[in-house]
Amino acid sequence: MNINSIVNSWLQHKGMIRKSGSGADPILPFLMLDAMYSILQKDLRPLDNKREMKLALKRWVASYTSFNRDFFASFSPEQRDEVIDIMDDFQAFIGNDILVAKVAVMNELKQYGLTFEQQKVVAACMVCHVLTQTADIAWEAVYKNRWGEDKRNPYIKGILKHSWDWMNIYFGKITNAYVNPNDSEPICKAMSVLCNRMVKFLDKLEAA
């Protein structure tokens, strides 16, 4: 597998030119959001979403679907298969770190009297939001600073907005508490480890 070939296909599709260097970093936001979507599908979509939540979830999924469709449109069928394999490898690589991050959030939520199932839902949504925030930061770092793209990705902005809307509606229905994950050292540490692990996957990918 030639990761540079995949990266170049995507950049050419978007009318961008590789200015210097090489590497897999341009596809990192897509890997992060693929992992986010897997959590959404497993932990959030099966819930009995009421009207407001259902609308927020629909918009959240629509933003991701547009983002993902735009990405895959640049590849040949063979390259698409390779990208899917990379996404699967990425999720396997960070799977344990995602679990640790979820547990850190759930431990923080115990003090608010939430049920175990409620803790699982909020933790999943918070991890989804962190993955999306990190993808947004990675997009700006890669495309704005290195590749010359001068704006944020509108689909990522939509994912951020609608994921936050969904979590606020759900959390507001189960508690009046205000939880700021940035105030928790264990959560910050777990999220930091997760982010570092995602970057390490690029080193593994480039060395393959």
Residue 26 in contact with residue 10, Cβ under 8 Å? Answer: yes
Question: Is position 29 within any domain?
Answer: no
Q: Which residue has the higher pLDDT, 113 or 208?
A: 113
State the greatest distance between any 2 C-alpha atoms of the chain, in Å, as a whole number. 53
Range of the domain at 84: 37-207
Question: Is position 189 within any domain?
Answer: yes
Measure the CA–CA gap between 133 and 164, rounded to whole angstroms: 11
Question: Is position 93 within any domain?
Answer: yes
pLDDT at 118 over 70: yes
Give residue-wise pLDDT tens across range 75-100. Answer: 989 999 999 999 999 999 999 999 99
Nearest CA among 37, 45, 93 for reference residue 67:
37
Question: Is position 122 within any domain?
Answer: yes
Give residue-wise pLDDT tens across range 1-54. Answer: 578 888 888 888 877 776 655 577 888 999 999 999 999 999 998 887 788 889
| Number of domains composing the chain | 1
Query: Amino acid identity of 87?
Result: M
C-alpha dist (Å) from residue 33 to 63, 82, 109, 138: 11, 17, 25, 11
pTM of structure: 0.90
Mean pLDDT over 182-186 rounds to: 79
Mean pLDDT over 186-198 rounds to: 91
Question: Is position 12 within any domain?
Answer: no
